[in-house]
Structure 1
Amino acid sequence: MLVSERIGQFFLETETGRDRLEYTEYGAGDAWVVLLHGQLMPRRMQQPLARALAAEGLHVVTLDLLGHGRSDRPADPHAYSVQAWAEQVLALLDHLGAAQAVVGGTSLGANVSLEVAVLAPERVRGLIAEMPVLNNALEAGVVAFGSLMLAARFLPFTVTGVRLLTRPVPRGIVPFWAGIALDTLDQRPASVAAVVHGLFFGRVAPHSRQRRAIQAPALVVGHPADPIHPAADAAMLAAELPNATFVRARSILEWRLRPERLDAEAAAFALECWRPRGRVRRVTR
């Protein structure tokens, strides 16, 4: 089924300046879903899921958070934090005239979604959290992204060199996920260092006490054998959230390469969120 797709933008005034954010809408109607990307990845990574959800009648929006994709990329670390990104999601809803939305994302996007539910619970119809980054991911995250921050800050030619090598590759001639990888490598040293710095020196996710107070229905997806996004973090989150459903992916690549099962889970969940309010029973699959 073909769905309409429209690119939009809005501007946000913050303490650090006036920032431009870009998004894509899929479908139409009042059953809103906002999908957020992983750290340093573009919003286009959520395109397959967005199209699948829109084909079910949902109005889906994918957003490039500040410092990512085609949104502005300031070099000031103070511009970046999980709380600031959550405020950008709320600003997007205001811009679209959406009173509520199912908010979800992958990795960083999952954490930002949780923060939205803490900041403005009345705006969140439901949560989709794939690969949340919580306690068990700390060491692997520090190793992976700490090294990246140091390289970007003190060896900027490494980041620039990768960008110069990958940017000329036409995205239309490579497989979709290869194109996403190339887009993820299209970074600027100052902004990528600022993004990681902002994450490291702010809180990565709401505290466990705050997570336990989130009443919105939630779909939590965990991956096996993923060192940066341990399944234990997803299982812990599902146990903390009062109205959560936990779904275990068959592999870390299932939702990327064989998405049908998890697309169906996400669509059924989001549609249920837009039916009259009711308690979502916890199940484990």
Structure 2
Amino acid sequence: MTTTPLVSERIGQFFLGEDRLEYTEYGAGGRWVVLVHGQLMPRRMHQPLARALAAQGCHVVTLDLLGHGRSDRPADPLVYSMTAFGEQVLALLDHLGADQAVIGGTSLGANVSLEVAVLAPERVRGLLVEMPVLDNALEFGLVVFGPMMLCARYLPFTVGALRRVTRPVPRGLVPFWAGIVLDTLDQRPAAMAATLHGIIFGRIAPPSRQRREITAPTMVVGHPADPIHPAADAAMLAEEVPGARFVRARSILEWRVAPQRLDAEAADFATSCWETPPAERRSGS
């Protein structure tokens, strides 16, 4: 059984106006990788992958977007959108003094990564995208997240009750992914409603025309039998982005419970983004 080498880990914060955002750094050096969490989930969900990438020489940063994890959670839906989340990632790069980074994420984080590539392509060394939410996922996403938004808005006691039950559970006493589920259920009703409102009623991702103009090296990971994140969306994105590589996970849970194969794929991809000069990688050698 192999173990991941120990790497340094540091918690930091920065401000956008009055709003505070928190992040964790893993490793050191100039090979920056930023990982963005899924919707309503904390940045800690990417801790295993961040440690694996840092062990391969990457300087990894996981960020809690506004409204998530340990970052501030305003109750104003106007501050939440995919574009605003992309701008938060760019503000993180500015704060860190990183000119470029491989930007990656899961679900919401995948779409935010695409927004960063559209907003500031010169800052994106590569894209590591898992479970993007595009055309094939919209109806099911509305069915799942629409009622959650309505409950948070009009039945806030339901969200508050879950928070009171889950918050006292010591995270160190439960398995890692059980702790992530508990953290995800630890929501504040007004902020949760505002976050979901901003996401549901804003643009979900850059349109296909803009996705086809992305020049950064891209690795797309899709899952079979996942209605919220159909493999068809991941495959479509891989076809749209020139030269993108599509990796099919064996199951929805593979990267969570048996991550060795996909961790290795991600590490090889991130490393290759930094080993290949930008001029070469965009010319599609």
SS in 2 for 1:274: helix
d(CA) in 1 for partners of 2:31, 2:122: 15
Residue among 11, 29, 37 paired with 1:7 = 11
* Distance (Å, rounded) in 1 between the aligned partners of 2:216 and 2:259: 25
What letter corresponds to residue 124 of structure 1 in structure 2?
Answer: V
Q: Is the 8 A contact 2:220 2:246 kept in 1?
A: yes
Assess, with a 3 A threshold, how the Cα gap between structure 1 residues 247 and 220 changes in structure 2: closer, same or farther: same
Q: Which residue of 2 aligns with 1:99?
A: 99
Q: Does residue 80 of structure 2 align to residue 80 of structure 1?
A: yes
Q: What is the CA RMSD across the aligned residues, in angstroms?
A: 1.1
Q: CA deviation at 1:54?
A: 0.1
1:156 is displaced (CA, Å) by 0.3
Q: 1:135-182: CA deviations, max 9, x gaps?
A: 000111001000000000000000000110111111000000000000
**2:68 — aligned with what?**
68
Partners of 1:85 and 1:279 lie apart in 2 by 26
Match of 1:112 in 2: 112
- Shift of residue 272, structure 1, vs aligned partner: 0.2
Letter aligned with residue 212 of structure 1: R
Alignment of 1:27-38 (within 5 A): 27-38=27-38
TM-score by length of 1: 0.96
Report the identity percentage: 77
Distance 1:88 1:39 in 2: 15
Equivalent residues in 2 for 1:1-285 (5 A)? 1-13=5-17, 18-277=18-277, 278-279=280-281
Maintained 8 Å contact 2:215/2:282: no
Task: State TM-score, norm by structure 2.
Answer: 0.96
CA distance in 2, matches of 1:182, 1:280: 42
Aligned length: 278
SS in 2 for 1:239: helix
Whole-Å separation in 2 of the counterparts to 1:154 and 1:7: 35
- Displacement, 1:43? 0.1
Contact 1:113–1:127, Cα closer than 8 Å, also in 2 = yes
Does the CA-based 8 Å contact 1:125-1:217 persist in structure 2?
A: yes
Deviates more, 1:160-169 or 1:270-279: 270-279
Aligned residues of 1:134 and 1:233 also touching (Cα < 8 A) = yes
In the alignment, residue 16 of structure 2 is paired with which amino acid?
L
Displacement, 1:88? 0.3
